[in-house]
Structure 1
Amino acid sequence: MRILVLFLTIFSITVESYGSIFVGKWSDPVTPVMSDYVKRIVIKAEKEKAEAVILVLDTPGGLDEAMRDVIKTVMNTNIPVIVYVYPPGARAASAGAIITISADIAAMAPSTNIGSASPVQMGGKDLDETMKKKILNDMVAFVKGISKRKGRNTEVIVKMVTESINLTSEEALKKNVIDLIATDLNDLINKLDGKEIKKNDINIKLELKGKPVIEIEKKLKEKILTILANPTIAYLLLMIGFYGIFFELYNPGSLIPGIIGTIALLLAFYSLNIISVNWLGVLLIAVGILFFILEVITPTFGVLALAGVISLLFGSIILTGPEYPYGDISLKIIIPIVAFSAVFFLTVAYLGVKAQRRKTITGKEGMVGLIGTAETDIDLDGKVFVEGELWDAYSDTPIKKGEKVKILAVEGLKLKVTKTD
C-alpha cells in the first residue's frame, strides 16, 4: 500500500510539472550566483520537459562574464526562454539589457526601462582608452550577433552600448528592441500563447494557456551568496575580519575572535571577488588597519593613527563607485567605521602607555612604599603587619609597637621600614 501511495505521489508530481511553465525571479545584480540560478532552472525545465521558462528580471546590471554565462544558457537550450522586465518601475540595465534582448521573447511591463549597456558599467573598473576601446568593440560585436539572430533592431541596441541610451517599454517595443508589453504574468502568458518562435533551427509554437505555473525559488545558498554580493556587506565583513584577527593577536588563545575574524575575512574576499572591486581600495584599508596596529605597538602619540585614518578613509571611498551596478558604499557607513577604528585603536594605545608607566604593584617592587603597622617594638629587629601578612623587619631608628611604618626596601624575606606620620 505504501509503495502504491509513493508511486502515485511521484506520478502526480511528474504529471504536474510536465508541460509546465517554469518561472524564475531575479531582482539583484548580474553575478555568478544569477548564472547558476538560471542554469539550474533551465536544466530542471529540460529534464521535466517544461513548455517554457520565464525569467522575471529587475536588475541594475552586473558582471560581463556572468552575463555571458546566462546568455549561453538561454541560447543553447531547446526550451523557449522569455525574459520579462517586471514589475512596473523595474529596469533591465547594463548586462540586464543584453540578457533581455538575448531571450527568445523579450517582454517588458509598462513603466519599465531598458538600456545603458556600456562595458564600463559591467565591470566597474577604470580603464585606459586603448583597453576601453577593445572592450567596447568586443561588446558591440557581441550584441550585433545577438540582435541579428533574434531579429531585433541592431542599430538601437548598439547605441545602448556605445551611447548608453535608455528606452521605456513603449519605446523599446516601437523600435523593435523587445517583442511585447504585458501588465503582469497572467497577461504575459495570454499574449505568449500561440506565438511561434524558431530556436536552434526548430520551429516551436507556444501553447501556454492553462498550463501550470511553477515558480523556482532561490535556494538558501543562492540567497546567502546574493547577500554577499552587496558591497556594503563585503566592506563590513572585511572590517570584522580585521578586528577579529587583531583581537586574537592582542589576546592570544582567546580563539573566538580569531575564528570569527578568519571566517569574516574569507567571506569578504569571496564577496569582493564577486563584485569586482577596486583592489587598491582593499590594500589601502589593510594598510590603514596596519597603521592603527603599529600605533598600539609603538605609540607615536597619534601620528600613525592619523595615517591610518587617511588610508582607511580613502580606501573605503574608492572600494566601489557610483558607476558600479552595485552602487557605492554610503559615507553614512564609512565615516562611523573610520571614526570608531581611530577611537578604538587610540584608546588601546593610550591604555598600553598608561600600563607601562604605572607603578608596579606586585612582587618585591610592588611592596616598596606600602604602609603597615609595627606588631612589636622595632630596633634592629621586629615584626610588621602589611597587606594582611606578618613580616620580619628592621629600622635605622627605633619604632614602637602599634606605630605606622613605611616600607623602604625588601631584602630577601626581611623588610626595611621607617616610622611614618
Structure 2
Amino acid sequence: MVLLLLLLVSLSFGKVFYAKWDDAVSPIMLEYVKRNIAEAEKEGGSLFVLELNTPGGLETSMRQIIQEFQRTPLPVVVYVYPPGGRAASAGAIITVSADVAVMAPGTNIGAAHPVQVGGERMEEAVKEKALQDMLAFVRSIAKEKGRNQEVLERMVKESISLTPDEALKDGVIDLIAVDRADLLQKLDGRKVKKHGKEIVIRTSGVAVIDVQESLRESFLRVITNPTVAYMLLLIGFYGIFFELYNPGSIIPGAVGVVSLLLGLYGLGIIGINWLGLLLILAGILLLVLELVTPTFGGLAIAGVIALAIGSLVLISPDSPYGDIPVSVIATMVFATAFFFLVAGRLGLKAQKRKKMTGYEELIGEEGEAITDFKGGKGKVFIKGEIWNAISQDDIKKEDKVLVEEVRGLTLYVRKVR
C-alpha cells in the first residue's frame, strides 16, 4: 500500500527531464533543446533541467533557445556544471533567462559582449547597434526573471565574469548547487511564476529522465569541430582532384564531393574568415598548376604559403568552437603538398604512358641480338625471352636493338646507335 501511494504521488508530480550540453551554442544545441523540451511535454514532464558548460556561440541560436524556454509551460532550470565549467557569452544569457538559474562551485558566468564570429571586423556603427540590441534584450530578461539589470548590462558592456558567490550575491542566479543530487534537493518545493501561474517544483521522489543526443545531433557535433571540418574540406579536394585525373574511378570522386560538402557545412556553422578559405583554394590551385605546368618549384612554394596562411586564419581566435591546432595545420599542409606534387605527378605520368596489352607492351623495349641478322632476319633476347626479329639495319650479334613493332610472334627492330 505504501509503495502504491508513493507511486501515485510520483506520477502526480510528473517527471524531471535532465539534459546536458557541453559545447558551443549553435543550431545543433537549439535542435537538441527544442527536441527534448517537446519530448518532456509529450511524456508528462514537470521540469526541464539543462546542465550547461559552454564558451558561448551564435546569437541567433541563443535567442531561439530562450524562446523555447519562454514558450514551454514547464519550469526550466539551467545548471552551470561541472566545476571548472562556464556559461560565457551567449551561454550566460541563456542561463539567466531560465526560470531558475543555478551554478556549481568553481564555475563562472559572464563575458557576454557581442562579437562577430568569422574573423571579420565589425564597423563601429554596426558594433554599437549590436550592443544596444543585446542590452535591450538582457534588460527584458532581467525584468521578467527578477534579476539584477545593472550587473547583466555590465556583463554585456564590460564583459565582466562572475563566480557563483558573486553571481548569487548580485542577484544574477538563484542557487548554488554542488552536484546533481544537491541541485534536485534544493529545487524541491521552490516556487516559480510562469505564464501567469505559480508553479511549485517537485523533485523529491520524482523520476529523473536522462535525455540523450540523437544520432543526427551527435554526427553534426562531430563535423562542426573545427579540426574535423578543416580536414573534411581538404579530403574533399583530394577526392575531386583524383577523380578529375582518373575519370571513372567514381569512389574517390563521391567521397570527395561528400567530404567537401560536409566540411563546408561544418565551417559554415562555425563561422569562418572567407579570406582564409579563398587562400586555401588559391593554394591548392597553385599546387595543381605546378603539377601540370612545372615551374621548378615556384608555384609550389607560393601554393604551400597560401595554404598555410589560409589555414591559420580560417577560424577566428575568438570563435567559441575553438581553433585548429597548429600541429594539425602543419601536417595537413605537408600532406596536401605531397599529395598534389608527388602522388599527383606519378598519377599523371601513369596516365600519359601509352597503354598496351599482350605483346604490344614490348614496343619501345630494348634488347640484344643473339645472332647476326642475315637477309634482314635474326634472333633477339628481350625481357628474358628469345624472339624472331626483322630489321632493315645491319645488325650483328650482341648489338643493342629497339622494338618498333610487333606482328604476331615477330618483332620489327632497329639498331640502337
TM over 0.5: yes
Q: Which residue of 2 aligns with 1:407?
A: 401
Distance 1:164 1:113 in 2: 12
Q: Which amino acid aligns with 2:325?
A: S
Residues 119 and 417 of structure 1, relative CA distance in 2, 3 Å threshold = closer
Of 376, 380, 388 in structure 2, the residue corresponding to residue 381 of structure 1 is: 376
Distance 1:122 1:419 in 2: 69
Trace 1:13-412 onto structure 2 (pairs within 5 A): 19-120=14-115, 125-348=120-343, 351=346, 366-367=364-365, 370-374=367-371, 378-387=373-382, 388=385, 389-396=387-394, 399=396, 403-407=397-401, 410=404
Distance 1:225 1:219 in 2: 10
| Same amino acid, percent of matched pairs | 50
Residues 351 and 301 of structure 1, relative CA distance in 2, 3 Å threshold = farther
How far did 1:404 drift? 2.0
How far did 1:360 drift? 12
Distance 1:382 1:32 in 2: 80
Q: Which amino acid aligns with 1:40?
A: R
Residues 67 and 357 of structure 1, relative CA distance in 2, 3 Å threshold = closer
Distance 1:97 1:270 in 2: 27
Residues 337 and 411 of structure 1, relative CA distance in 2, 3 Å threshold = closer
Q: Which residue of 2 aligns with 1:5?
A: none
Residue deviations 1:380-406 (CA, integer Å, cap 9, x gap): 433233423212234447x4xxx2233
Distance 1:193 1:353 in 2: 71
Residues 98 and 408 of structure 1, relative CA distance in 2, 3 Å threshold = closer
Residues 328 and 385 of structure 1, relative CA distance in 2, 3 Å threshold = same
Gaps of 5+ in 2: 1-6
Asked if structure 2 preserves the Cα contact closer than 8 Å seen for 1:193 and 1:207, the reply is yes
How far did 1:417 drift? 5.2
Distance 1:206 1:412 in 2: 93
Asked if structure 1 preserves the Cα contact closer than 8 Å seen for 2:117 and 2:316, the reply is no
How far did 1:113 drift? 0.3
Asked if structure 1 preserves the Cα contact closer than 8 Å seen for 2:117 and 2:271, the reply is no
How far did 1:181 drift? 0.5
Q: Which amino acid aligns with 1:201?
A: G
Q: Which amino acid aligns with 1:268?
A: G
Distance 2:171 2:406 in 1: 99
Q: Which segment is superposed worse, 41-50 or 161-170?
A: 41-50
Distance 1:124 1:358 in 2: 47
Instruction: Tell me the SS of whatever aligns to 1:248.
Output: helix
Distance 1:265 1:357 in 2: 28
Distance 2:261 2:416 in 1: 64
Distance 1:254 1:124 in 2: 38
Residue deviations 1:16-67 (CA, integer Å, cap 9, x gap): 6970111000011111111011111111122223111010001111111111
Asked if structure 2 preserves the Cα contact closer than 8 Å seen for 1:112 and 1:168, the reply is yes
Asked if structure 2 preserves the Cα contact closer than 8 Å seen for 1:147 and 1:157, the reply is yes
Distance 2:332 2:302 in 1: 15
Aligned residues: 401
Q: Which segment is superposed worse, 387-396 or 239-248?
A: 387-396
Distance 2:186 2:308 in 1: 53
Distance 1:230 1:353 in 2: 34
Residues 125 and 198 of structure 1, relative CA distance in 2, 3 Å threshold = farther
How far did 1:349 drift? 6.3
Distance 1:208 1:372 in 2: 98
Asked if structure 1 preserves the Cα contact closer than 8 Å seen for 2:118 and 2:273, the reply is no
Q: Which amino acid aligns with 1:391?
A: A
Distance 2:20 2:259 in 1: 29
Residues 411 and 297 of structure 1, relative CA distance in 2, 3 Å threshold = closer
RMSD: 2.9
How far did 1:306 drift? 1.1
Asked if structure 1 preserves the Cα contact closer than 8 Å seen for 2:315 and 2:323, the reply is yes
Q: What is the TM-score when the length of structure 1 is the normalising length?
A: 0.87
